[in-house]
Chains A and B, each alone.
Chain A
């Protein structure tokens, strides 16, 4: 299959309300040509609504949607020419595998040998070559997923939409398909919008992630930036584990439990802030170990240890009683277990992240 030309998507001011509930609240989003962008959010956040607006199944109250330079917001779904993989695959039960994959070709006037050739090639791309004659109900969940994918790519759309396509698969298959989907995207190069509520999936697959909540985009950035530099508490909480400690910036200094901290970013203006601490970024120092420059040091005492296989989760208390969580790898020196033991923790400056305080506008 030749590398498709892909199209950028420009969403502006798209708004959709159901009664009083705002599903999409003036959403602006530009998706680059050939980009793999993930809409990530909890259920009811509006991520699926946004996808169905892109596909044309949901009629928004207003706004603009452009594929390339063409305004699409009033174009009916069957004229949008986008591929889509549905959450439950939506394979036509009264057609064979080949019938399903040939369906979009048939509608575009491609029939006969040309259609058969392209169907077989699409099936080969998803590693289902030779499955054409099977009935849809003879396939496993993973195979159905692949057929749905083949059906969506066979007509070489320039935009691909995916609505939680892996959520019905078991964990192992899901992780395997994540890699395959990503490879397929690199091969075909179509602009892809991917909806998921699984943060790990989003981090694994995306070029950029748009974190959505309450019909608004909370943050739009690369996976690394979203994880390392969340814009607010919602994003930090939704992606990865973290402990939040209310802190005060006063006179240009940041103090935590009487201990000064430095950050990689310039300190914000004086006032209340929220300190985000990722458990795996806090490291327990060995006796008299010097972490070197670029690290904050925190004195704490061990409260409890929970063994979790690949790592242990330590509950530690700062001198003022603030509780933190520390993830400690299980290899090497065993994590300390006796409660009450004094610890020294190291925290890199760039992992010392300040967020707007609770209640501040996001």
Chain B
């Protein structure tokens, strides 16, 4: 092999090419080191220190012993599940509609879908507060139109939290769903119809499986974002919907207990990671592109 002319030089070239490629990820790798791994490591370190600074599992022990922590985690998962579920119900038909539009019209509509992402989260959340409160726009209109007599409690409870969170999360589901639906060759649906599938069966047997990678990607993104969500539940939940994030904030701002807060953070992180692994196993998330997307 190596007695071929220029064999060594060619090998060297190949090596440089690989190194060049690898160097492209260095900035991102450094950034993740500094902004992710170090703080998370630090969190973990803090969570196993007692108040006196000695090594101890007391923060985890407390979480295990106090039922209120369990309730907080249950609330967090319930709110996240509900939000994700409502988002699916809203986003699926919307994404399907968009994927059927001509490209130009669809792009325009996508801008409308993404528009909320360009405004501050806090502004949007307080806007919902204005709309949903006892004497807010929605209650006034509802009563004036005679839809209901007494002002509904739409805020500072689960309903308000869900409304706000669904609003924030919707684009994150529509985006991957739309992309994966757009990539589905409509000839598959024609073929299904031709072979005898009613529209409903052709949707269930052909369209849904082909759009599944987009759906599972979007669901995962939304659910994970929900788990750690702070601003909207804190403002619209009004202290009645206590999620892990609120509890962490309380521990730090009110009790100055970094250890307890860190332990909460670590548990949430581990639960989330387990969840991703589980879902990835179930839906083969690696396969984000629908198989039909390839020519």
Contact = CB atoms under 8 A, between A and B. Distances in A.
Interface of A: 55-57, 76-84, 86, 88, 90-94, 103-104, 107-108, 137, 151, 155
B25 interface: no
Contact of B193 (A78, A88, A94, A108): A78
A151 B192 CA distance: 11
A103 B209 contact: no
A151 B195 contact: yes
Contacts of A81: 196
B291 interface: yes
Nearest to B193: A77
B196 A78 contact: yes
Contact of B197 (A78, A83, A90): A78
* Consensus secondary structure, chain A interface: loop
B210 interface: yes
B190 A108 contact: no
A137 B291 contact: yes
A107 B195 contact: yes
Contacts of B210: 93-94
Contacts of A92: 188, 191-192, 206
A82 B194 contact: yes
Nearest to A106: B205
Contact of B194 (A77, A88, A94): A77
Given A78-B192, A93-B292, A94-B291, 11 more contacts: A57-B193, A76-B193, A78-B195, A78-B198, A86-B191, A90-B187, A90-B191, A92-B188, A104-B195, A107-B197, A137-B294
A107 B198 CA distance: 9
Contacts of A84: 191, 194
A151 to B, nearest CB: 7
Interface of B: 185, 187-188, 190-199, 201-202, 205-206, 209-210, 290-292, 294
Contacts of B294: 137
Contacts of B290: 93
Nearest to B198: A78
A9 to B, nearest CB: 16
B291 A104 contact: no
6 tightest Cβ-Cβ pairs between the two chains A and B: A93-B291, A90-B191, A104-B195, A77-B193, A107-B196, A90-B187
B190 A90 contact: yes
Nearest to B292: A93
Contacts of B201: 107
Nearest to A108: B196
Given A57-B190, A77-B190, A137-B291, A90 B196 contact: no
Contacts of A76: 193
A328 to B, nearest CB: 44
Nearest to B184: A93
A86 B196 contact: no
Contacts of A151: 195
A50 to B, nearest CB: 16
B193 A56 contact: yes
A137 B191 CA distance: 17
Contacts of B292: 93
Nearest to A94: B209
A80 B197 CA distance: 11
A34 to B, nearest CB: 21
B185 A88 contact: yes
15 contacts: A55-B194, A56-B193, A76-B193, A77-B193, A78-B193, A78-B194, A78-B197, A86-B190, A90-B191, A92-B192, A92-B206, A104-B195, A107-B201, A108-B196, A155-B195
B224 to A, nearest CB: 26
Contacts of A55: 190, 194
Contacts of B199: 78
Nearest to A76: B193
A222 to B, nearest CB: 29
A151 B185 CA distance: 18
A81 B198 CA distance: 12
Given A93-B210, A94-B291, A88 B187 contact: yes
- Residue from B193, B195, B209 with most neighbouring chain A CB atoms (10 Å): B195
B196 to A, nearest CB: 4
A93 B201 CA distance: 17
Nearest to B188: A90
A76 B291 CA distance: 28
Contacts of A94: 206, 209-210, 291
Contact of B192 (A79, A88, A103, A108): A103
Contacts of B202: 78
A227 to B, nearest CB: 33
A155 B196 contact: yes
